[in-house]
Amino acid sequence: MEYQIEREEKEVLGDFKPELIPDECGGGIDDYEEALHVLMKFVGSMSSALEQVSGRGANAIVYQAGKRMGHEAGKMVEKTDDLEKAMQELSEILGIEFFFDMWKPANQTGYTVENGNETVVKLIFRDCVVRQTLRRTGLPQKGPLCYLLYGEIVGAVEEVMGIKGKLDIDHVGPNACLKTLTIKWGGK
Amino acid sequence: MVKIEIDEDACVGCGSCVEDCPNDVYEMDEAKNKTKVVNEDDCMACLSCHEICPAEAMEHKNIHVAKRLYIDRRISGILKKII
| A48 is a domain residue | yes
CATH number where A112 lies:
3.30.1380.20
A98-103 and B58-61 strand pairing: unpaired
Say yes or no for a CB contact (<8 Å) between A136 and B46. Answer: no
Domain, as residue range, for A66? 29-184
Say yes or no for a CB contact (<8 Å) between B73 and A131. Answer: no
| A20 is a domain residue | no
Which phi and psi angles does A109 have, rounded to 5°?
-75, -55
**Which residues of B sit within 8 Å Cβ distance of A?**
22-23, 39, 41-42, 44-48, 50-51, 63-70, 72-73
Taking the C-alpha atoms of residue A164 and residue A154, their distance in angstroms, rounded to an integer, is 8
How many folded domains does chain A comprise?
1
Write down how long chain B is: 83
Other beta carbons within 10 angstroms of residue A142's beta carbon come to 13
Whether A66 contacts A151, CB under 8 Å: yes
Find residue B26's DSSP bridge partners. Answer: B37
What is the rounded average pLDDT of the residues A109-138? 92
| A13 is a domain residue | no
Taking the C-alpha atoms of residue A171 and residue A85, their distance in angstroms, rounded to an integer, is 24
Q: In chain A, what percentage of residues exceed pLDDT 70? A: 98
In the predicted structure, residue A1 carries a pLDDT above the cut 80: no
Taking the C-alpha atoms of residue A101 and residue A41, their distance in angstroms, rounded to an integer, is 28
Name which of A40, A124, A135 is nearest B44 (Cβ-Cβ).
A124
Other beta carbons within 10 angstroms of residue B79's beta carbon come to 10
Taking the C-alpha atoms of residue B53 and residue A144, their distance in angstroms, rounded to an integer, is 27
What is the pLDDT at residue A124? 93
Taking the C-alpha atoms of residue A132 and residue A152, their distance in angstroms, rounded to an integer, is 17
Name which of A129, A131, A171 is nearest B22 (Cβ-Cβ).
A171
In one-letter notation, the amino acid at residue A136 is R
Instruction: State ipTM.
Output: 0.88
Which CA distances in Å does B59 have to A141, B11, B30? 23, 12, 21
Taking the C-alpha atoms of residue A123 and residue A168, their distance in angstroms, rounded to an integer, is 10
Q: Which of A126, A136, A170 has the highest number of chain B CBs within 10 A, making it the mutation to test binding with B?
A: A126
Taking the CA atoms of A135, B68, A30 and A129 in sequence, report the sign of the dihedral they define: negative
Q: pLDDT tens across B24-58, in order?
A: 999 999 999 999 999 999 999 999 999 999 999 99
| A4 is a domain residue | no
Q: pLDDT tens across A164-182, in order?
A: 888 899 999 999 999 999 9
- Partners of B70 on chain A (C-beta within 8 Å) are 40, 132-133, 135-136
Other beta carbons within 10 angstroms of residue A50's beta carbon come to 18
Whether A167 contacts A150, CB under 8 Å: yes
| A2 is a domain residue | no
Whether A74 contacts A159, CB under 8 Å: yes
CATH architecture entry for B3-82? 2-Layer Sandwich (3.30)
In the predicted structure, residue B65 carries a pLDDT above the cut 90: yes
Taking the C-alpha atoms of residue A180 and residue A167, their distance in angstroms, rounded to an integer, is 5
